[in-house]
Chains A and B, each alone.
Chain A
Amino acid sequence: MSRMRVSIPLAVVSLVLVIALGTPAVSQTPKAGGTLNITQREDLPQGFAIHETSTISSVWPVMPCLSNLVLFDPLKKTESMDTIIGELAEKWSWQDNYRNLVFFLRKGVKWHDGQPFSSKDVKYTFDMLREAPDAPAKLRINPRKDWYSNIQNVEAPDPQTVIFHLKRPQPSLLMMLASGYSPVYAAHVPAASYRTGCIGTGPFKLKEWRKGEFVEYVKNPDYFIKGRPYLDGLKYVVIAERGTRTAALQSGAVDVAFPGETTKTAAEQLKKAVPELVVTEYSQNVNDNIIMNMKKPPFNNAKVRLAVSRAIDRHALIQAVHQGGAVIGASMAPKPHGFWGLLDKDLHTLPGYGKPADEKAQAKKLLAEAGATPQNPLRVEMVTRAIAIYVDMASFVINELKQVGIEASLKQIETAQWHATATRGDYQIGANLTGIGPDDPDANFFENYSCGSPRNYSFYCDEQSTKMIEQQSQEIDPKKRLAQVAMLQKKLEDDAARPLLDWRLDYFTHRPYVKNLVPHQSIYNFGRMQEVWRDK
């Protein structure tokens, strides 16, 4: 009887504790097997030749076939120096005060065709990418040549060691090498063959690419990480129609959405229809911005550029165009989504980030100083890519500009002509989107703000900014570098080099049984899939 009296309160306490703390977690030991059906919004633009493209449509479906020297840990949300793990490199070491980066490669790694992997492949790849004079191969299009411009020489002293000799210290090189855009190609197959097939060392081997329909992979039994991948295969199904993509996810015909495609509104609707879907909000590392051609009037006048920047109400744009699915930030992705972004208190001191009415008043004043009056308004042509996500933003901006006395007409440019128009400067002002591989200042500033870069569409070229870009790139002390990057961001916004409007968020969606698929703060780096498994 007394034992009974004791045990009843104990049971009640236990029950309360269980309820309070939640039910015991179900074992999350990964299960092997199964195939994942993954959404692909368009067919592979240039096959598996990642090094010849700069689009998520290539990186996302091709990453499982290839490997990098190093990679951002697929299981960690945040990409930083601390989350870089070895892939083909087992270990690495900075030497000579960040002038030499030495990689010690894994032994026994095989390409999908059975050939052994060695340091020769690494040297081949990076000599080709940096367009070394003695490079054995040349890419027909090389969009990230600038990433590797600081490499003086790549040395392969033995099959398991590679040394990157740098012209000057550059800690960020490791960040760029960890991006999904930095795989190692096989030296024994022509670089052009990646446009039609894939010989990689990645966790999955290409089984079939049915043009315009799907890309199918099977597990690589010789993958260098034992016990990985968990899945038997992957199938990237090309679904061009957005409505069909949503229906496919809703019905379970595909297990995973395409990164960067699910808006906040769409995610809310999907979640309402299928409550068990897993939706993760994260930064795409893609921003909306205004490009202004500084080689031509009127935007060679800093006052006019600044007036444009001040005229646009960023918060209103986020609500109107993205239904809240974006955040404000300067040229680096803002915290907590990005590592380098400015704090809110700093952002609000920048032109265009204050109270909308005050900002518009200042914009009008600047325009008046530049000679534009209500009787003689500034008339410009705004270009944008003829895609809804661009046009929506451009339309909003035009309306904002009108409120300060800039009459802008919209010209839509077809995709085929868009980058040519921007690179050649055949425009006055444009509404643009910029995606950045890793969340790293070097990957961003050299490409988009340095003098002469082909993707510096505004032709911004400022001596002081160039020095600041170089300086932060060489800074070894992380705290000092963070401060330098903050200063640089303020400078770029003060100069209205390429006014930032917002950073887009994605609402990455997958079925609940898909495990270990963790979105990072950039859409370009989490597609390797070797840790992903099906709990079904």
Chain B
Amino acid sequence: MKSYVAQRLGIAILTLVGMSMVIFALLRLAPGDIVDILFSTAGYVNDTEKQAILKELGMDRPYWVQYLDWMRQILTGDLGKSYRYDIPAWDVIRPLIPVTIELAVLSILVAVVLGVPTGVISAVRQDSTLDYVLRVLSLAGLSMPSFWLGMVIILGMVSWLGWIPPLTYVKPTDNFKAHVIQFMLPALAVGYRSSALIMRITRSSLLEVMREDYIRTAWAKGQAGRVVIWRHALKNAILPVVTVIGIEFAFLIGGLVVTETVFNLPGVARFLVQAILWRDYPIVQNLVMFIAIVVIFSNLFVDMLYGVLDPRVRYG
């Protein structure tokens, strides 16, 4: 187990190094840079002044020097300075992370709470009216983009209640109720879509397991339906569901752009898009690395969880 984890961590580090190169190169391939944007806000460009600013920001150095400098910064825990804000990148990034993680966790919770039970019900009541209703609802969830649903929620609230959720981040310590409302609405919008996916995976996986001999044996032994389904069938059907949950969580960390924008939540994804538009390399590079780390470790966590959920899985 330990050697497996060490091996995975080694691969993770290699992946991150590869990622860092790709991010670094792609950003430089995109047309324009921060200085072009700065001049854009002034409405003109002066090449001499541009060179001076590039030098001030250290962007006149060869790419490999800039890359190594970034790596050195990461290893020393200094993420550099935001080009746009002229303050340490970490000071810009730090407040964004809890917002996105909280929203992603809440969304996944909503997705699991909605998706797993409905998937089980749908499988157990296969081809019943309830099954069809749940499948239609899940298809609707998959078809509706969460940002569209989010906008509908906002517009509905304005029209019917004359109210919208807070527009600036409310700390739970300042106003817990407002904080919960601020996060629950986008979590519902995002979680509904993810729940549809989880429901469909749960259903198909459970249907497959329900046809296994050991389930038939459990029924034959006269075990209660609840026990057969939840203890025997679902436990064996859950692995693909856990995989999907892991992938969804990792996706949500960087994929909440539009939801964060619609609900005006100051999270990682919304800020990342702004940073890309501004070519604020230190912010973009470090945020993408953060997302990559979350993706790698959530995958690792899911793989570890297989062993806990299924004793047949062994790590070597």
Segment with Cβ contacts to A, from B13-21, B130-138, B173-181, B264-272: B264-272
Q: Within 8 Å of chain B (Cβ to Cβ): is A113?
A: no
State which of B41-49, B112-120, B289-297 sits at the interface with chain A.
Answer: B41-49
The count of chain B contact residues (Cβ–Cβ below 8 Å) is 46
A214 within 8 A of B: yes
A residues near B168, Cβ cutoff 8 Å = 210, 213-214, 235, 237
Question: Given A140-B53, A196-B86, A213-B168, A416–B279 Cβ distance below 8 Å?
Answer: yes
Report if A43 contacts B (CB, 8 A).
yes
Mask: chain B, 45-82; 1 = CB below 8 Å from A; 0 = not: 11001001100100000000000000000000000000
How far apart are the CA atoms of A393 and B164 in the complex, in Å?
33
- A141 to chain B: closest residue by CB: B42
**Any chain B CB within 8 A of the CB of A345?**
no
Please indicate the chain A residues that have their CB under 8 angstroms from the CB of B158 in the complex: 247, 250-251, 273
B37 interface residue (CB < 8 Å to A):
yes
The reply to whether the CB of A483 lies closer than 8 angstroms to some CB of chain B is: no
- Beta-carbon contact of A58 and B41 below 8 Å: yes
Within the assembled complex, what's the spacing in Å between the Cα atoms of A325 and B167? 29
Assess whether A211 is interfacial by the CB under 8 Å rule.
yes
Contact with B along A403-424 (1 / 0, CB 8 A): 0000000000011111110011
Pairwise interchain contact A416-B40, C-beta atoms closer than 8 A:
yes
Question: Which chain B residue has the least Cβ–Cβ distance from A240?
Answer: B261
Cα-based distance from A417 to B34 in the complex (angstroms): 10
* A30 CB to nearest B CB, Å: 27
B185 contacts across to A, CB distance below 8 A: none
Count of chain A residues near B, Cβ 8 A: 50
> Which residues 209-266 of A sit at the B interface, judged by CB distance below 8 A?
210-214, 235, 237-241, 243-244, 247-248, 250-254
Is A474 interfacial (CB 8 A cutoff)? no
Please classify the interface of chain A as helix (H, G, I), strand (E, B), loop, or mixed, using the class held by over half of its residues.
Answer: mixed
**Is B42 within 8 A of A416, CB to CB?**
no
Q: Which of A196, A214, A235, A418 has the most CB of B within 10 A?
A: A418
Q: Which positions 235-264 of chain B face chain A at CB distance < 8 Å?
A: 261-264
For the complex, is A54 an interface residue (Cβ under 8 Å from B)? Answer: yes
How far is it, in angstroms, between the C-alpha of A55 and the C-alpha of B38 when the chains are bound?
A: 11
Does A35 have its Cβ within 8 Å of any Cβ on chain B?
no
Given contacts A211-B92, A247-B158, contact A53 B42 (CB under 8 A): yes
Task: Considering the complex, give the chain A residue whose CB is closest to the CB of B163.
Answer: A251
* Interface locus among A44-52, A79-87, A149-157, A501-509: A44-52
Taking CB atoms, residues of chain A closer than 8 Å to B264 are 237-241, 244
CA distance A454 to B44 in the complex (A): 6
Closest Cβ–Cβ distance, residue A252 to chain B (whole Å): 7
Q: Tell me if B95 counts as interface (CB < 8 A to partner A).
A: yes
Among B158, B162, B262: residue with most chain A CB under 10 A = B158
Given contacts A213-B169, A244-B154, A248-B167, contact A419 B45 (CB under 8 A): yes
A455 within 8 A of B: yes
Q: Which of A195, A235, A244, A415 contacts B277 (CB 8 A)?
A: A415
Q: Which residues of A contact B56 (CB under 8 A)?
A: 140
Known: A141-B38, A243-B154. 12 other contacts (CB 8 A): A42-B274, A47-B85, A54-B43, A140-B53, A195-B86, A210-B168, A237-B167, A239-B167, A241-B262, A251-B163, A416-B37, A419-B45
Query: Shortest 3 CB-CB distances between A and B: which pairs?
Result: A416-B32, A143-B42, A454-B44
The 11 sampled A-B contact pairs (Cβ below 8 Å) are A140-B52, A210-B168, A212-B266, A240-B270, A240-B274, A251-B157, A251-B163, A415-B40, A416-B33, A417-B36, A454-B45
The residues of B with any CB-CB pair to A shorter than 8 Å are: 31-33, 36-46, 49, 52-53, 56, 85-87, 92, 95, 151, 154-155, 157-159, 162-164, 166-169, 261-264, 266, 270-271, 274, 277, 279
